[in-house]
Structure 1
């Protein structure tokens, strides 16, 4: 199985490899939506990492022993696992694959000259669980925005892997009875858009009315909307006609923007 998959190679059947986020990006690219370029470091790469480096059994043993209702113990052990992942060196071949893929994203052709200028990227977690299609991990793992440079990307990938073991994520999986060895994490590497306005489209109205869509939007990067840090503008739209049924303008006093241009 591949360690790296470009969006154009991914289909919805690849959820076990690339997670829901990765699979959706692949589907959109293959339907010709205007999606910023990117690739996914598959869950297979994560599983190889913990197996080849000999830390899988240590992680499983620690998770199995946790009493999740004991908050101090949960925080302590989950932090130990994250530190274990962060201090364990990545396989050199995988490092090279990630660096090479990131470099390919940065290639630009001007006339007959190919140039390379390092791009800002988003490094996004996309958790997945083998044989558990009903599992939901939304918002439990980390995303890193405006990452630039090959070593910085590698560092962010490791942090995404480690975020599989936040106290919140461990608590959820233990309560759901998920087996640690079946839960993996893919990592999406995607070109950043230095947006002036960004938001979220809900293809069904959140209360369940499928005849309507809702857009929430705000100034700057979309993370401010996603995290709930701002009160966004909200537009309720009728499907089919795309008529705006309702509009609520939020008061936004700040925006999340890239400092370096």
Structure 2
């Protein structure tokens, strides 16, 4: 029997991630950690684990059979194909050797943190954030997951989300090879977010690269990303970080941890009417976004959070950075303002499948 390859990499195992091994999100998180950015710790279950899972379980053949001559314009057929594939993936057993590596990495992460702490389990596909395509919201993210058994369950769900109806239709419509795809999964310490959101190192409305634009709201950032809250919006000059304009959003709901689970609840009326970030916080977020842009040399779309578990001054963390795909396709040049430092995530870049209750 051939030895099992290392199918799990921590964010600190490498200094540079590879999309073909770690998927888009995983590669970005490894690279940002290697660049010294404030990324919460975690690990990536590489595409090799998913490939092993599909092959050992015989699901590769099933997927080929179901998708082989599928008509993407037949909505009912696509939905039926998606349901059949996802159900099979979610019910199949992860091979023992793969499961052992995932369990070992999870235990090591808990030891590093020093206590049993919830994690986010996030899909990281190889066909993700391509220059001429956007896969935003097509695969799943699960929040506030605790325990090895639940982590493995949600890893399977992330793998299965590669075959949502929306994802299948989009790939077919854009002539993206269905059978060269794979999925990595990121497992990362959850942040206890006082406030969170997204930032872009250009103005998404105009493409103006001399600006940084921040959307922020209370609690975790998923309501901002999914558009279910009206966030505070701040536009800053990229060089001086002076606020050009600012509007206070309604911020009617927040997603916060309570009693070992996530609760979506109403925000008190007096908090809705004031900015959720101080002027110092706004500047720090802008500096972080600019640092990511400087590192990648293309305009960035970042996800960030203020983590209440960390001390003041060290509590701004970077959850994701990706290229801005609408206006930012061209690399930065000497004529484009760049700043000294900074980090991020994208408007509408995921639609999270949340483990939560409403309150």
Using the size of structure 2 for normalisation, the TM-score is 0.67
Asked whether the equivalents of residues 12 and 23 of structure 1 are also in contact (C-alpha less than 8 Å), the reply is yes
Q: Which is helix-richer, 1 or 2? A: 1
Aligned pairs for 1:54-203 within 5 A: 54-107=58-111, 117-129=115-127, 135-203=133-201
Asked whether the equivalents of residues 125 and 183 of structure 2 are also in contact (C-alpha less than 8 Å), the reply is yes
Task: Compute the RMSD of aligned alpha carbons.
Answer: 1.8
Using the size of structure 1 for normalisation, the TM-score is 0.92
Give 1:260's aligned residue: 259
The number of aligned residues is 254
In structure 2, which of residues 27, 40, 50 is the aligned counterpart of residue 36 of structure 1? 40
Give a deviation string over 1:77-118, Cα, whole Å, max 9, x none: 110000011111100111111111111111159xxxxxx632
Between the aligned partners of 1:206 and 1:98, the Cα distance in structure 2 is 38
Between the aligned partners of 2:6 and 2:240, the Cα distance in structure 1 is 42
Q: Residues 185 and 11 from structure 1, CA distance in 2 versus in 1: closer, same or farther, beyond 3 angstroms?
A: farther
| Alignment gaps of 5+ in structure 1 | 110-115
Q: CA deviation at 1:178?
A: 2.0
Give a deviation string over 1:1-46, Cα, whole Å, max 9, x none: 5311111234555111112211111121112111100010111211
Give 1:228's aligned residue: 227
Q: Which moved more, 1:140-149 or 1:170-179?
A: 170-179
In structure 2, which of residues 46, 49, 61 is the aligned counterpart of residue 45 of structure 1? 49
Q: CA deviation at 1:58?
A: 1.3
Give a deviation string over 1:151-206, Cα, whole Å, max 9, x none: 00000000000000110000011112222221111101000001111111112221
Asked whether the equivalents of residues 22 and 46 of structure 2 are also in contact (C-alpha less than 8 Å), the reply is yes
Give 1:215's aligned residue: 214
| Alignment gaps of 5+ in structure 2 | 261-359
